Amino acid sequence: MTVTLADVAARAQVSPATVSRVLNGNYPVAASTRERVLRAVDELDYVLNGPASALAAATSDLVGILVNDIADPFFGIMAGAIQGEIGGPGGRAGGERLAVVCNTGGSPERELTYLTLLQRQRAAAVVLTGGAVEDAPHAAAVAAKLRKLAEAGTRVVLCGRPPAPDTRAIALTFDNRGGARALTDHLIGLGHRRLGYIAGPVERTTTRHRLEGHRAALAAAGIEEDPRWTVYGRYDRRSGHEATLELLRRDPSLTAIVAANDSVALGACAALRESGLRIPEDVSVAGFDDLPFSIDCVPSLTTVRLPLAEAGARAGRVAMGREEPPLGGVASIRGELMVRGSSGVPRGAQ
Amino acid sequence: MTVTLADVAARAQVSPATVSRVLNGNYPVAASTRERVLRAVDELDYVLNGPASALAAATSDLVGILVNDIADPFFGIMAGAIQGEIGGPGGRAGGERLAVVCNTGGSPERELTYLTLLQRQRAAAVVLTGGAVEDAPHAAAVAAKLRKLAEAGTRVVLCGRPPAPDTRAIALTFDNRGGARALTDHLIGLGHRRLGYIAGPVERTTTRHRLEGHRAALAAAGIEEDPRWTVYGRYDRRSGHEATLELLRRDPSLTAIVAANDSVALGACAALRESGLRIPEDVSVAGFDDLPFSIDCVPSLTTVRLPLAEAGARAGRVAMGREEPPLGGVASIRGELMVRGSSGVPRGAQ
DNA sequence: AGCCGCACAGCAAGCGCTTTCTATATCTGT
DNA sequence: ACAGATATAGAAAGCGCTTGCTGTGCGGCT
């Protein structure tokens, strides 16, 4: 039925062992023999049996990439960059590895199940992207899983995610706090004193860190925050739209709205416009991440650029052991404030 | 070192066979025994060895999803929907399958290599999304691969991709031609007579079909097309930006620009604005796909909505054998014209 | 000339699981 | 109470590959 190593061996008149060695190229084989084998492989259209190979060699060429939302370019860009370095077909790496991205949908259980599935497949490496969920039991479960993966020889890298203590996982973390701080500092510098904040889901680290940075800026400027100024939502445009209307209802005198990310900011812009408010004359808007579309918004979005592709590439290289992990296993990656058209001097402050 | 089935069996005082049956749940096992086994599994923290299992059972629980560009929401949305139905962890499907998305970057070789890799892993199913490359040798190679996959028992589904003849692959195709026709008809109906077209990469089916629809509309209206009105590019905003400037240079009297997709349209809008042209007063713009951000553009984008999530979900179900494939193995999925703010009556036509 | 070492090739023992076939209780019906 | 059916557990034969160890022939060395 299906062609096996033995068939190839028979055809090439060599032993299965030799065929295996030709295919893996990690053992001396005479050129003439090699050629004969390769010809047989070709003629028979032989395809290695991955599971069998993985079983015998006790390793696999699978690399898992976990993302929260595959439809969100934030993750797509990172995943693409990681995959580019993993090798995958065409990657600059030699060995062919199957980089697979797994969509957790932000659900802790799914995350855990995927990790188990990857563990089951004896994945060569795993990269977890995006913020973690701040639920103690879950965090512990994930940490335990990561520890176990590491023990089994799977390299674990966190990309854009806070370090996981007591784990051998390498962490490339985004400095969300610092970026948010710089962003709000900028707004305050323009003269804003009443700033609404549209946060992401409460339980996520990213949400908390960005909010903390925002609040640190307020505190530093001596602005007392009104609890009505913060609304929690999701990381999508719809959430930004709804939250903005809510914010406007609570305090129509807001002069700026800081969004959890660019998509949310986009929704916020739409809501403001529908409410008859001009950006930035009436209300300034700021996003986070600097996704490709941000520059094309009208007005273009003031935001914090996160080097997603670079971070992903680095994570990929580290996962493949092609780059030294940062000292201490943790690196903080800074964002860059991008001041654009959506932020301006508040009305009245001239 | 690592815990195996045998260890669990020993601990539960049963045979390995019994443990396997408990885990797979496809053979009667007494409740008391099952419980004992499960307890042992738990205590030992046993994780099944995927490769070994796949080897013995001659099937795997891997499902491959091929996308052209993982950073593009067009693919992200489809991939997410497919994955949702594949089961994956948390999916409504019971069995846990590892849905993996592979990023081909639009490269034919990568596509082929990924297919081989999936064949090597004995994937349970493969879903190919997005347009195909119109290169005869490559198309033949892909068709051969798909045939081989199908022979090996892998279910093959094409989602948003033209049918592959001589293949058992199920195809859910987008009616790009029809959608483009409707879109340009709309523009012509508004009074436009000089329309620029920003196409995608030349060699892609999607590009050709959309362009054909556009031209069919022109022909039906008796408009003779000027070759200067078409520029080929890529499916991203940058390409739209550049192409628009080029179009404007070639013929400043254009009153409308039809873009290959929404991202391209976004870039086109930016270029027009930079050129001091108003949308739609001076130039109308139209996109394709209706990605989430399209409605938030300023003005909001006239485009053709493609039911990406629905199509993906359906493809996923078909791939899992949970839904009957369409008659003849091919279904055409229509888009819906979304008339919004970016298209209007051309200047002078009042 | 004779011996050692090297460069290859083959043997065979698993890797950890699934599954067919077989064995042993435990029922069921009359 | 006994034959036949039923339910459940085990033995063992692989699945297709990798790899440590064992041959074998050859050139180079003294």
pLDDT tens-place string over residues A9-64? 999 999 999 999 999 988 899 999 999 999 999 999 999 999 999 999 998 889 99
Kindly state whether residues A297 and A320 are assigned to the same domain: no
The 3-class SS string of A55-110 reads HHHCCCCEEEEEECCCCCHHHHHHHHHHHHHHCCCCCCCCCCCEEEEEECCCCHHH
In this prediction, residue A93 carries a pLDDT of 34
In this prediction, residue B88 carries a pLDDT of 52
**What is the overall mean pLDDT for chain B?**
93
Under the banding of pLDDT at 50, 70 and 90, the label for residue A66 is very high
Nearest to A225 by CA among A183, A190, A256: A256
Under the banding of pLDDT at 50, 70 and 90, the label for residue B2 is confident
Kindly state whether A148 is in contact with chain B, defined as any CB-CB distance less than 8 angstroms: yes
Give the closest nucleotide to B58 (alpha carbon vs C1'). D15
Q: And the tokens for B246? A: 């080029």
CA distances A143 to A64, A106, A146, A148, B9, Å, are 16, 17, 5, 9, 28
Kindly state whether residues A43 and A65 are assigned to the same domain: no
B10-42 residue pLDDT tens: 999 999 999 999 999 888 899 999 999 999 999
Kindly state whether residues B228 and B129 are assigned to the same domain: no
For the residues A171-196, what does the mean pLDDT come to?
98
Q: Does nucleic acid strand D have an atom less than 7 angstroms from the CB of B28?
A: yes
For the residues B272-284, what does the mean pLDDT come to?
97
Which amino acid appears at position A296 of this protein?
D
Give the closest nucleotide to A15 (alpha carbon vs C1'). C10
Statement: residue A350 has pLDDT above 60: no
For the residues A198-202, what does the mean pLDDT come to?
97
Domain that holds residue B22: 5-48
Nearest chain B residue (CA) to A241:
B296
Nearest to A348 by CA among A218, A255, A273: A255
- All residues of chain A having their beta carbon less than 8 Å from the beta carbon of residue B75 are 76
In this prediction, residue A205 carries a pLDDT of 96
In this prediction, residue B169 carries a pLDDT of 95
- Which helix (H) or strand (E) covers residue A331, if one does? strand A330-333
The CATH number of whichever domain residue A317 belongs to comes to 3.40.50.2300
Q: Which nucleotides of D are covered by protein (CB under 7 A)?
A: 7-12, 14-20
CB A94 within 8 A of CB A125: no
Best interface-test mutation with B: which of A98, A126, A145 has the largest number of B CBs within 10 A?
A98
- All residues of chain B having their beta carbon less than 8 Å from the beta carbon of residue A2 are 152
Residue with tokens 């997410």, as numbered in its chain: B80
Kindly state whether residues B233 and B161 are assigned to the same domain: no
For the residues A227-248, what does the mean pLDDT come to?
97
Query: Is B70's CB within 8 Å of A60's CB?
Result: no
Statement: residue A171 has pLDDT above 50: yes
For the residues B266-289, what does the mean pLDDT come to?
97
For the residues B155-171, what does the mean pLDDT come to?
95
For the residues A178-191, what does the mean pLDDT come to?
98
B68-80 residue pLDDT tens: 999 999 999 999 9
Under the banding of pLDDT at 50, 70 and 90, the label for residue B87 is low
- All residues of chain A having their beta carbon less than 8 Å from the beta carbon of residue B297 are 296-298
Q: Does nucleic acid strand D have an atom less than 7 angstroms from the CB of A275?
A: no
Quick check: is A342 in a domain? no
Under the banding of pLDDT at 50, 70 and 90, the label for residue A2 is confident
Kindly state whether residues B186 and B67 are assigned to the same domain: no
- All residues of chain B having their beta carbon less than 8 Å from the beta carbon of residue A84 are 105
In this prediction, residue A142 carries a pLDDT of 95
pLDDT above 90 coverage of chain A, percent: 87
Q: Who among A45, A116, A266 is closest to B296 (CB)?
A: A266
In this prediction, residue A349 carries a pLDDT of 61
In this prediction, residue A94 carries a pLDDT of 39
Kindly state whether residues B326 and B216 are assigned to the same domain: no
The backbone torsions φ and ψ at residue B8, rounded to the nearest 5 degrees and listed phi first, read: -60, -45
Kindly state whether residues B117 and B141 are assigned to the same domain: yes
Q: And the tokens for A168? A: 């051998």
For the residues B49-59, what does the mean pLDDT come to?
94
In this prediction, residue A97 carries a pLDDT of 85
Nearest chain A residue (CA) to B58:
A51
Quick check: is B271 in a domain? yes
A73-110 residue pLDDT tens: 999 999 999 999 986 544 333 357 888 899 999 999 99
Which of A1-10, A24-33, A256-265 holds the top average pLDDT?
A: A256-265
Statement: residue B302 has pLDDT above 70: yes
Q: Who among A71, A107, A120 is closest to B73 (CB)?
A: A71
Quick check: is B268 in a domain? yes
Between A349 and B194, the more confident residue is: B194
Statement: residue B92 has pLDDT above 60: no
Kindly state whether residues A294 and A185 are assigned to the same domain: yes
Instruction: Show Cβ contacts of residue A191 under 8 Å, excluding neighbours closer than 6 positions.
Output: A345, A346, A349
Statement: residue B225 has pLDDT above 70: yes
Quick check: is A339 in a domain? no
Query: Is B51's CB within 8 Å of A50's CB?
Result: yes
Query: Is B109's CB within 8 Å of A89's CB?
Result: yes
Kindly state whether residues B191 and B270 are assigned to the same domain: yes
Quick check: is A267 in a domain? yes
Which amino acid appears at position B186 of this protein?
H
Kindly state whether residues B169 and B287 are assigned to the same domain: no
In this prediction, residue A348 carries a pLDDT of 73
Kindly state whether residues B31 and B110 are assigned to the same domain: no
In this prediction, residue B61 carries a pLDDT of 87
Kindly state whether B69 is in contact with chain A, defined as any CB-CB distance less than 8 angstroms: yes
The backbone torsions φ and ψ at residue B198, rounded to the nearest 5 degrees and listed phi first, read: -105, 105
The CATH number of whichever domain residue A18 belongs to comes to 1.10.260.40
Q: Who among B83, B148, B292 is closest to A103 (CB)?
A: B83
Kindly state whether residues A182 and A225 are assigned to the same domain: yes
Quick check: is A204 in a domain? yes
CA distances B95 to A175, B22, B126, Å, are 39, 14, 17
Q: Who among A51, A107, A263 is closest to B54 (CB)?
A: A51
Under the banding of pLDDT at 50, 70 and 90, the label for residue A209 is very high
Q: CA–CA separation, B138 vs B151, rounded Å?
A: 20
Query: Is B73's CB within 8 Å of A69's CB?
Result: no
Quick check: is A265 in a domain? yes
Nearest to A99 by CA among A116, A114, A119, A79: A79
**What is the overall mean pLDDT for chain A?**
93
Quick check: is B350 in a domain? no
CA closest to C1' of D20 belongs to A17
Q: How many domains does chain B have?
A: 3
* A:B CB pairs within 8 Å: 188
